[in-house]
Structure 1
Amino acid sequence: MPRTVAVAADRIGWEERRLIAAAPAFGLRLEWVNDESMCLGHPDAPALSGYDALLVRSRSYTRGGLVATLAEAASVRTLNTARAIRTCQNKAALRTALRSAGIPVPDFRLVLSRTDFERALKELPLPLVLKPVFGGMGKRVTLLRHADTAASVYDYVEDLGHAFEQACLVEPYLGDTSVRCLVVGDEIAGAAEFTGGGEFTGGAADWRTNAALGNRARAVAHDPELRKILDSVVSELGPGIYGVDLFRTPEGHVVNEVNHAPGFRALDAATGADIPSSVARHLREALA
């Protein structure tokens, strides 16, 4: 009898279809549960009745943590854990947790007002990156090249309707190349380097390094320094399924972000790694 895992998501995308297809070979059955219709809160979580575990793949930066928290309260085995998801969803909280654990992260300033923004511009050298605390897929990430235009850029942040959307980080621009590592359990399932449009060349569609934006990608080796950093990330967040984004600096790699429900289509194409099987194997081991 296969163990059944609910996949919480707002829709079934390429990654979810691959995961569902890989599951039977590992004695599992994955079924989509729409995260918009679970109506959690009842102590017994009726929407999750009959499932052995919940795999949270919500793309929303509000739903994932809420769904995981209420599922765990109903004693449903949840992957990733609610604590890990909540930490990953909040870039300021993630950076602080990692830095406190001795894991290298980029310098940053939390910006909640124009006063914060102006002070950050004085404390950090241009070029800088302005990004939302809550968000993903490279959305609303802005490169600030010149001080005389930065204030105008911040006008758009101030015009956003909710403080949730206005919370931002300002950080140094660390170049147009990043490394994405897909961690499953405590192992690296695949690693690739993504390259954007070049620092200031204007020769490509986008300067941002993000797999969701269609950047160029190539597989990279799992070198010892990378392995050590990723082990530390897993030690802090707990074993799980993470997309860890890093930048190379003269001092070594720094962890930029950790995605709790990572896409892996571009990584799959660049590395040829069988990521769905790695995830299914991890789920089977978690349910053993």
Structure 2
Amino acid sequence: MQGHEVHLVYTRLRTEERMLADALRARGFGVRTHADSELVLPLSRERWQDGGPVLMRSMSFTRARYLSSILEVKGSRVLNTAHCIATCGDKALTTLALARAEVPIPWAFVGFEEEACVAQMQERGFPVVTKPVLGSWGRMVARVDGVHAAEGMMSMRFEMGGAQDHVALVQQYIDKPGYDLRVYVIGKSVGGMRRRSEHWVTNTARGAVPERYEVPESHARLAEQAARAVGGEMVAVDLLETRAGEVMVNEINHCVEFARSIEFTGIPLPELMADYVRETLR
């Protein structure tokens, strides 16, 4: 692979991107970095740069989706693919892809009007979880415990924001045993982490404490099945475990973040991702 160049597209050169670049260089790759804010790409089949592989690390779902789509038309090999990014970046589409592949998931529905959504919540039974179809880091995720809270939440959902905000995604509330699980799939399952929190939202961005967990074979197979369902090659699959031990897939992250967790898990994710790029080019 000596002499090959990899293009790394980023929003900010965070710890993750710097570690990835170092791992690629250690394997003989040249690395060219591109700020997504500076890219202006013709909508044509004209090849971009040298046509080399692209690691899409944009923090913006919108930019990542468009840039990956354009670059693929130009013949670039983009990791992850535009299809994967578009699917994982939209929680409703993720859920549909998992349902199509018969991956176990919490029940969920999408609605577009306040009264219809509240009525469906009442029929399903409280508590439930509402979340935006687009978004990350646990932002705007809320637990709804009763009809009055549901009316208030849905009123805000449908009276504020733009058209994309006027989509209510409502999901089954899972009574977790104080943690959720994340399995990293880089071609295959390579390890995972447990995120502990006294709060029901267990994102590390919301204060959850990460720790390594040895991924059992059943969890690894489930994560790999979920990754295949969305066309994911380098993804983080979030699992929910009930107090009875049932395991379901919650969400899938197409831009794997690890700066907050790598020291706790010891999983060499940058090196594993660089190895996957090398194997892919072969």
Q: Residue 186 of structure 2 is aligned with which of 159, 184, 187?
A: 184
State the distance in 2 between where 1:45 and 1:11 align.
27
2:265 — aligned with what?
271
Contact 2:83–2:231, Cα closer than 8 Å, also in 1 = no
CA RMSD of aligned residues (A): 1.8
1:260 — aligned with what?
254
Correspondence 1:7 to 2:1: no
Listed as ranges, the gaps of 5+ residues in structure 1 are 199-206
Paired residue secondary structure (1:222): coil
Paired residue secondary structure (2:260): helix
The alpha-carbon distance between structure 1 residues 157 and 267, as it changes in their structure 2 partners (threshold 3 A), is: same
The alpha-carbon distance between structure 1 residues 167 and 61, as it changes in their structure 2 partners (threshold 3 A), is: farther
1:248 — aligned with what?
241
Query: Any idea what the Cα deviations from partners look like across 1:19-39, whole Å, max 9, x if unmatched?
Result: 111111212233321112222
1:23 — aligned with what?
24
Query: Any idea what the Cα deviations from partners look like across 1:189-214, whole Å, max 9, x if unmatched?
Result: 3201112224xxxxxxxx31112223
User: What are the residue-to-residue correspondences of 1:69-84 with 2, within 5 Å?
Assistant: 69-84=69-84
Contact 2:117–2:168, Cα closer than 8 Å, also in 1 = no
1:227 — aligned with what?
220
Amino acid corresponding to residue 58 of structure 2 in structure 1: S
User: What are the residue-to-residue correspondences of 1:211-226 with 2, within 5 Å?
Assistant: 211-226=204-219
1:284 — aligned with what?
278
Correspondence 1:157 to 2:157: yes
1:39 — aligned with what?
40
Amino acid corresponding to residue 30 of structure 2 in structure 1: R
Query: Any idea what the Cα deviations from partners look like across 1:206-245, whole Å, max 9, x if unmatched?
Result: x311122231122111112102212212332335110110
Listed as ranges, the gaps of 5+ residues in structure 2 are none
Contact 1:182–1:264, Cα closer than 8 Å, also in 2 = no
The alpha-carbon distance between structure 1 residues 51 and 212, as it changes in their structure 2 partners (threshold 3 A), is: farther
State the distance in 1 between where 2:155 and 2:232 align.
40
Query: Any idea what the Cα deviations from partners look like across 1:17-62, whole Å, max 9, x if unmatched?
Result: 111111112122333211122222342556x412511111112121
Contact 1:27–1:284, Cα closer than 8 Å, also in 2 = no
Paired residue secondary structure (1:98): helix
Query: Any idea what the Cα deviations from partners look like across 1:171-190, whole Å, max 9, x if unmatched?
Result: 122134210111111x2232
State the distance in 2 between where 1:42 and 1:238 align.
24
Paired residue secondary structure (1:265): coil
Amino acid corresponding to residue 197 of structure 1 in structure 2: E
Query: Any idea what the Cα deviations from partners look like across 1:250-276, whole Å, max 9, x if unmatched?
Result: 362111000110211233122111111
Amino acid corresponding to residue 140 of structure 2 in structure 1: R
1:118 — aligned with what?
118
The alpha-carbon distance between structure 1 residues 124 and 251, as it changes in their structure 2 partners (threshold 3 A), is: farther
Contact 1:125–1:172, Cα closer than 8 Å, also in 2 = no
- Give the TM-score normalised by structure 1: 0.90
- Identity, % of aligned positions: 27
2:54 — aligned with what?
54
The alpha-carbon distance between structure 1 residues 264 and 113, as it changes in their structure 2 partners (threshold 3 A), is: same
Contact 1:52–1:287, Cα closer than 8 Å, also in 2 = no
State the distance in 2 between where 1:190 and 1:2 align.
30
Paired residue secondary structure (1:95): helix
State the distance in 1 between where 2:9 and 2:119 align.
41
The alpha-carbon distance between structure 1 residues 113 and 269, as it changes in their structure 2 partners (threshold 3 A), is: farther
Amino acid corresponding to residue 106 of structure 2 in structure 1: P
Contact 2:186–2:233, Cα closer than 8 Å, also in 1 = yes
Query: Any idea what the Cα deviations from partners look like across 1:134-182, whole Å, max 9, x if unmatched?
Result: 1111111111123222211223212322111222311122134210111
Number of paired residues? 278
